C-alpha cells in the first residue's frame, strides 16, 4: 500500500520514528553538554537536497557563492572545475557525486543558487558544492554517534559519525576522506 507521493506507511512511520529519535538525541546532547565540561565541537550544517550533513568548523576555510567555474579536461567526474577564488585557484568538487561513490552517471551539477564549502585538511584544500548551508551547531564531542549501519561501506568511509541536529540525524563528514580520492 502506498500513500500519496509514493511513500509507504511503513516508510512514513520509520521517518517519524527517526525524527523523534533525533529530537530526543539532540535534547540528550544538550543536557549532556550542560553537564559536561568537555570540549564542544562546532559543526557547519548543510544540505544536499533533503539530506543533511555536517563538517567540523575547524576544517572550514570559507563558504562562497559559486563564480565562473572553468572545466578541466581529463579530470575525474567529481571535479566540477577550477575557480578564481580571490586570486587563488580553487578546485571545486561535486559532493553529491563523491557521496554517490561514482555510481550515478548524472550530468555535472548546476551551480546556480548553491554554495561552495571550502575545506582544508592536511595541507590539501578544495571547495565542495552543496545546495544550502543552514547554520553552525555547537555540540559536545561525545554526542557524535557511530556511522549508521545502513550506510554502505564505500560511502561510510566518508563519515566520522552521525549527529542529531535540528530535529534530524545528519552525517558528520570526514574532511580527510572527502579531500582524498
Q: Give the residues lining the site for another protein (CB under 8 A).
A: 68, 70-76, 78-79, 81-84, 87-91, 93, 123-126, 179-181
Q: How far is the CB of 127 from another protein (least distance, A)?
A: 9
Least gap, CB of 131 to another protein (angstroms): 21
Measured from the CB atom, is 3 or 84 closer to another protein?
84
Provide the grid cell at 19. Answer: 525524527
How many residues are listed for the chain in this entry? 181
Give the separation between CA 46 and CA 83, rounded to whole angstroms.
21
Cβ 136 to another protein shortest distance, Å = 24
Q: Are the CB atoms for 66 and 116 separated by under 8 Å?
A: yes
What does the alpha-carbon distance between residue 86 and residue 172 come to, in Å, rounded to a whole number? 28
The residue among 113 and 181 lying less far from another protein, judged by its C-beta, is 181
Query: In terms of CB distance, is 154 or 180 closer to another protein?
Result: 180
Count CB neighbours of 31 within 10 A. Answer: 11
Amino acid at each position: 500500500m502506498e500513500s500519496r507521493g509514493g511513500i509507504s506507511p511503513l516508510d512514513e512511520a520509520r521517518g517519524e520514528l527517526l525524527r523523534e529519535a533525533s529530537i530526543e538525541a539532540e535534547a540528550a546532547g544538550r543536557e549532556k553538554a550542560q553537564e559536561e565540561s568537555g570540549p564542544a565541537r562546532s559543526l557547519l550544517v548543510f544540505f544536499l537536497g533533503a539530506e543533511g550533513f555536517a563538517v567540523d568548523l575547524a576544517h572550514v576555510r570559507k563558504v562562497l557563492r559559486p563564480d565562473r567555474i572553468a572545466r578541466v579536461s581529463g579530470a575525474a567526474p567529481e571535479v566540477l572545475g577550477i575557480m578564481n577564488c580571490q586570486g587563488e585557484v580553487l578546485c571545486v568538487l561535486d559532493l553529491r557525486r563523491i557521496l554517490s561513490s561514482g555510481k550515478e552517471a548524472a550530468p555535472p551539477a548546476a551551480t546556480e543558487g548553491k554554495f561552495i564549502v571550502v575545506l582544508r585538511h592536511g595541507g590539501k584544500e578544495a571547495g565542495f558544492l552543496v545546495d544550502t548551508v543552514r547554520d553552525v551547531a555547537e555540540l559536545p564531542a561525545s554526542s557524535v554517534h557511530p556511522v549508521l549501519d545502513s550506510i554502505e561501506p564505500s560511502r561510510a568511509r566518508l563519515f566520522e559519525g552521525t549527529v542529531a541536529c535540528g530535529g534530524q540525524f545528519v552525517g558528520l563528514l570526514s574532511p580527510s576522506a572527502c579531500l582524498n580520492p
